Amino acid sequence: MSSKLLGHVWDLDLPDSTTKLILLRLADNANDETGECFPSLAYLQDKCSIKSKTTIRLALTKYKIRIYFGH
């Protein structure tokens, strides 16, 4: 967990709560030193209680967060 990144996300003025929730989950999973995290879309769906992978993809691409789809 990266408390530094969590603090930054909490301070963001975002237009919707879904995006903030997704970013908070990513920050919570991020490496403290590198800021990298690699959760799956299924993991984000489960932890954020979001039914649509498209919703997550749109929120991430809107803020130019790179996502990689693995197997």
Task: Please say if the pLDDT value at position 71 is more than 50.
Answer: no
What is the DSSP annotation of the chain? Answer: --HHHHHHHHH---S-HHHHHHHHHHHHHS-TTT------HHHHHHHHT---HHHHHHHHHHTT-------
Q: Which residue has the higher pLDDT, 47 or 66?
A: 47
pTM: 0.82
Query: pLDDT per residue over 1-60, tens digit each?
Result: 668 888 888 998 888 899 999 999 999 998 888 888 889 999 999 999 999 999 998 888
pLDDT confidence of residue 66? 61
